[in-house]
Amino acid sequence: MVCRPGAGWRDESQVASLLRGLITELDRPRSWGGVHVLSQHTLYTLIASRPSLLTDWPHLRPPLEEAVEVGLSTDELTRTERDQFAGLHYARRIADR
């Protein structure tokens, strides 16, 4: 997806597709290694920089919630990964307001 600086994201389908893809990657087994961590970090950074993505596309919140709950339930997370999952969980809760 290419955007001119300052132009914003106008094509909803591209943004929603990107977010859905990143959320789906969170459900992959940790044995996939770096893909899971990169997707989690990318999603965390994207939501942290543009929290309105979750309010603009509420249909993405339930799959995010499910993926975050599954992620937080594992004992295999590093501290950074756990903090990022907690941040995603908080962002989702804020978007529900």
65-93 residue pLDDT tens: 998 998 888 888 889 989 999 999 999 99
- Ordered by start, the domain boundaries in the chain are 14-95
**CB-based contact 79:58 (threshold 8 Å):** no
Mean pLDDT of all residues belonging to the chain: 81
45-69 residue pLDDT tens: 999 988 888 888 888 899 999 989 9
- Does pTM top 0.85 for this prediction? no
